[in-house]
A and B are shown apart, each in its own frame.
Chain A
Amino acid sequence: KAGVTQTPRYLIKTRGQQVTLSCSPISGHRSVSWYQQTPGQGLQFLFEYFSETQRNKGNFPGRFSGRQFSNSRSEMNVSTLELGDSALYLCASSLELVAETQYFGPGTRLLVL
């Protein structure tokens, strides 16, 4: 089976712009979770989608949003980018619940200038 894929792998944006990141889960996985990884904060949970519904959300501002499509592919969007949004954004998929084993993608490294 193909693993979790994320596009793009690298992205450079300027403050105030918006960005959309994409994640394709492992075939058959219905849960997709998004994380922000930074050296000082570790992995911070953004949100989880299951069957096109946002099931859980972390403590991030409303500028961070996401969605999931009927084929389980997911996108996350960050509007009005800030310098502090520079991070590695990881997507993980699991068969059912987020607390089951998660399979991670390579991440999208976002740099905000």
Chain B
Amino acid sequence: AQSVSQHNHHVILSEAASLELGCNYSYGGTVNLFWYVQYPGQHLQLLLKYFSGDPLVKGIKGFEAEFIKSKFSFNLRKPSVQWSDTAEYFCAVTQGAGNNRKLIWGLGTSLAVNP
């Protein structure tokens, strides 16, 4: 069965620092990959997604992620974080196909950005 690992549970950065959050999954084959973000007091929302094509995906608010199939990874990056990026970040990967397809989620990474 698919499993998703987010290596960093808590990350603390200063503003303008660069960010990289790791996400690895266990099951090979065709997958769809997502990063979702949950800002304090807000709903979970999509940050970016990869289905096919260019493995470097750009999302909202300057975030990007790179799909490296050989490493089963989909790491999230941002060159310069802001205080408003303080949030919980979740990686999710599909498992199965057709009607049996479902999303498997990582445990999340809590990011705190100090002003």
Interface residues, chain A, CB within 8 Å of chain B? 3-4, 33, 35, 41-45, 48, 55-56, 58, 90, 92, 97-99, 101-107
B43 touches A48 (CB 8 A): no
Question: Quick check: is B107 within 8 A (CB to CB) of the other chain?
Answer: yes
B interface majority secondary structure: strand
A71 to nearest B CB, angstroms? Answer: 21
A43 to B90 CA separation, bound complex (whole angstroms): 9
Q: Closest residue to A97 on the B side, CB-wise? A: B101
B94 to nearest A CB, angstroms? Answer: 5
Which one of B43, B45, B92, B105 has the greatest number of beta carbons of chain A within 10 Å?
B43
B99 touches A56 (CB 8 A): yes
Q: How many residues of B contact A (CB 8 A)?
A: 21
Which one of B44, B104, B105 has the greatest number of beta carbons of chain A within 10 Å?
B44
User: For A3, what are the chain B residues with a Cβ–Cβ distance below 8 Å?
Assistant: 43
B102 touches A104 (CB 8 A): no
Q: A99-B103, A102-B103 are in contact. List 10 more A-B contacts (CB 8 A).
A: A41-B107, A42-B90, A43-B92, A45-B104, A92-B44, A98-B102, A99-B102, A104-B44, A104-B45, A105-B43
Interface residues of B in 29-64 (CB under 8 A from A): 32, 34, 36, 43-46, 49
B46 touches A101 (CB 8 A): yes
A42 touches B46 (CB 8 A): no
Interface residues of B in 4-41 (CB under 8 A from A): 32, 34, 36
A79 to B73 CA separation, bound complex (whole angstroms): 39
Q: Can you identify 19 A-B contacts, CB atoms within 8 angstroms?
A: A4-B43, A33-B103, A41-B107, A42-B107, A43-B90, A43-B92, A45-B102, A45-B104, A55-B99, A56-B99, A56-B102, A90-B44, A98-B103, A99-B94, A101-B49, A103-B45, A104-B36, A105-B43, A107-B43
